[in-house]
Copies of this chain bind each other. A is one copy, B any other.
Amino acid sequence: MTTTTTDLDTLSVNTIRGLCMDAVQRAESGHPGTPMGIAPVAYTLWQRFLRFDPADPIWPNRDRFVLSEGHASALLWSLLHLTGVRAVDPDYEVLGRASVTLDDLKTFRQLGSRCPGHPEYRWTSGVETTTGPLGQGVATSVGMAIAGRWLAARYNKDGLPLFDFDVYALAGDGDMMEGIASEAASLAGHQRLSNLCWIYDSNRTTIEGHTDLAFTEDVAERFLAYGWNVTTVADANDLGAVERALHSFQAEDERPTLVVVHSHIGYGSPVEDTAKAHGEPLGADSVRETKRFLGMPDDVDFFIPDGVYDWFARGIGARGGAARTDWRSMFEAYRAQYPELADEIERMQRRELPDGWQQALPTFPADAKGIATRDSSGRVLNALAQAVPWLLGGAADLAPSTKTHLTFPGAGDFQADDRSGRNFHFGVREHAAAAITNGMALTKLRPYWSGFLIFSDYARAAIRLSALMEIPTLHIFSHDSIGVGEDGPTHQPVEQLASLRAMPGLLVFRPADANEVVETWRVVAGLRREPAALVLSRQPLPTLDRNRLAAASGVAMGGYVLADAPTGEPDVILLATGSEVALALAARDDLTADGIAARVVSMPCWELFDRQPRQYRDQVLPPAVRARVAIEQASTLGWERYVGDAGAIVGMHTFGASAPLKHLLTKFGFVPERVAQVAREQVAANR
């Protein structure tokens, strides 16, 4: 069962070690120790197991490799180079050029190099997910494994097993300590994801020193408690033992597998097994000494011995190429039998939706009583999900509250005994939920997760990664303000809107009524490279009468004139989002009665508004009208951008309180009279 270790195995492993040392040394910064310790394991996995074709690194059924200990990026860059992985363009076309050239390796961590400090998705092909913030990679890998199971359930047919890929994640001690990893591991065990293998690079060394300082739990026992298969490799350099462990993963069909590998950080160097090997170059002398220890020439940088490229080509290259070619043939046979399903798969890969998906979107009649935007969103989602079979997701134990449950026939629950379900139960694990959803999005599904807006704080690092990776993960948050009411300040978001708006690349929507919800979904469903946050109310909001007011399609511009001053020449502009739009309209009525012409601007998405041409923005917010009032049940931070020097903001300056909403609205001043009063003061001050 185990291949005999050859000279070329050893030579390849040491080539990787040499490249990593040299890349860090030339960069004068980086992390040499981890690659040197775990290189034999990564080598064995890639060369003998990974079904990955360097010539087509986005082949849909490829095995996924996630470098969760992302600081060891030099290891991945070396593998991408040595195996000859091809570059891919932003429209998913495989290019002739290499993903990572030797020059890229030589410019590791320099501006513009394809070899940045940590693996970055899209920037370097062969990177399956951006990693570095510890715990994110392993949690994301769970989403990939889930996606694999779901794709298999939907698309595999007798004799045509289109999707059976495995997901590997290489993790360090830091990953194992992070809470997000615990959450994800618990869920992976529950879901019995036997297509998932985490390799725990246990070098017992972190930045502060030996893990005995802070981390003395029994990791293997913990994972057994989660329901995982656990196996151990006593010595990372024992390629046979590594192979046996990976075979045990492949033979396991009930549980995810944790392979605990005891390794030596900075293997072979003078600082082996010390924290000094972690995050700084070894120094030229130590590099030479280490190369001598490894039997490599000590006077050549970036040395790649004869035969090594070819060895990889004959290993992973040949195996991956054959697997991909076979798969392409299978896919053609599949297309002949199941053209519609084949079309789905191809659209999904290009991040396109089924034709006519927009026809599924409902509209809502005007209704003064109205419904909560979480409810209208739930209805839109249910309609849309029937038109887009790979739109799917779940909640962090809050689906009855966030209304993200898919209720139509056949939607079902995704569980170990039914992989076709489209409702996911993430448990009370917001951080893992977001990262897992990222993993599903990276596998080209259109996934969402949901929770209360206050709990976006728990998931923030994973939300950030969706923005950094430019993937269309949908983050759905209900209970968006003091509208939470009686649960009080611990559950009432105040600063979360500003926090999300501060994040580059994330579209944050806070729709004002059911039809703005529809238009929000129209925008977000079509996103291919941007994540979005939907921020929804707990409490009912009136469905605005669009015969009397502007159409909700203005959502696509981020902000629009909802109700203009009768003359089109407003004395004052009221800007609001979400639940405060109806409040602005009520204040406008008060002002009209006083002879003050007020315009109401709905601003559901700042980011989209800021992208509009100046002409449009000036039309919505004419510079000459300096009397402005922004109204939002949230931190005022950032509203100055729209209300300007002279304007006022009715917002939250403290945390909320526990009380029925109507009392909170009075306490915090979100009542028409106050808004109208502030507007009057604005008009007077800006006359």
Contact = CB atoms under 8 A, between A and B. Distances in A.
28 contacts: A29-B486, A109-B486, A110-B660, A111-B664, A111-B667, A112-B659, A117-B490, A118-B487, A130-B490, A132-B487, A178-B183, A187-B214, A207-B399, A207-B401, A208-B400, A213-B425, A216-B227, A218-B227, A222-B226, A455-B461, A457-B461, A458-B460, A460-B499, A468-B655, A498-B499, A640-B641, A644-B645, A645-B646
A206 B427 contact: yes
Contact of A70 (B120, B179, B490): B490
Interface stretch (A9-17, A264-272, A428-436): A428-436
A498 B637 contact: yes
A489 interface: yes
Contact of A219 (B219, B225, B495): B225
Nearest to A395: B208
Contacts of A646: 645
A426 B208 CA distance: 10
A502 B658 CA distance: 21
Interface in A110-150: 110-113, 116-118, 120, 130-134
A189 interface: yes
B208 A398 contact: yes
Interface string A470-481: 000000000000
A660 to B, nearest CB: 7
A522 interface: no
Contacts of A178: 179, 183, 428-429, 458
A531 interface: no
A90 B113 CA distance: 57
A413 interface: yes
Nearest to A226: B217
Interface in A628-687: 635, 637-638, 640-641, 644-646, 652-655, 657-660, 663-664, 667
Contact of A659 (B110, B134, B215): B110
Contacts of A206: 397, 427-428
Contacts of A503: 494-495, 635
Contacts of A29: 485-486, 660
Contacts of A495: 464, 499, 502-504
B504 A398 contact: no
Nearest to A663: B111
A275 B215 CA distance: 36
A224 interface: yes
A413 B654 CA distance: 38
A90 B87 CA distance: 63
B134 A428 contact: yes
Contacts of A411: none
Contacts of A89: none
Given A457-B464, A486-B27, A637 B501 contact: yes
B428 A173 contact: yes
Given A428-B206, A461-B458, A490 B133 contact: yes
A182 interface: yes
Contacts of A116: 488-489, 657-658
Contacts of A174: 397, 428
Contacts of A179: 178-183, 429, 431-432
A237 B135 CA distance: 40
A177 interface: yes
A120 B658 CA distance: 10
Name the interface size band of chain A: 35 or more
A617 to B, nearest CB: 13
A444 interface: no
Given A177-B186, A183-B178, A397 B427 contact: no
A240 to B, nearest CB: 29
A655 B502 contact: no
Interface in A550-588: none
Contact of A413 (B112, B213, B489): B213
B189 A658 contact: no
Contacts of A275: 400
Contacts of A182: 179, 182-183
A379 to B, nearest CB: 19
Given A29-B486, A118-B491, A133-B457, 15 more contacts: A29-B660, A110-B660, A118-B490, A120-B658, A178-B183, A179-B429, A189-B216, A206-B427, A207-B400, A208-B425, A218-B225, A498-B499, A502-B502, A637-B637, A640-B641
Which of the listed residues A110, A178, A221, A454 has the most CB atoms from chain B within 10 Å of its own CB? Answer: A178
A30 interface: yes
A455 B429 CA distance: 18
Interface in A182-201: 182-183, 186-187, 189-190
A505 interface: yes
Nearest to A228: B217
B428 A177 contact: yes
Given A499-B499, A659-B111, A487 B117 contact: yes
Contacts of A187: 214
A177 B429 contact: yes
Given A428-B178, A495-B503, A637-B638, A455 B221 contact: no
A655 B177 contact: no
A214 B431 CA distance: 15
Contacts of A660: 29, 109-111
A427 B182 CA distance: 14
A70 B190 CA distance: 26
Contacts of A498: 498-499, 502, 637-638
The 10 closest A-B CB pairs, nearest first, are A179-B179, A116-B658, A214-B427, A111-B659, A132-B490, A182-B182, A221-B225, A495-B502, A498-B502, A640-B640
A657 B71 CA distance: 15
A44 to B, nearest CB: 26
A504 B636 CA distance: 10
Nearest to A488: B117
Interface string A432-458: 100000000000000000000011011
Contacts of A216: 189-190, 227
Interface in A353-412: 395, 397-401
Nearest to A644: B645
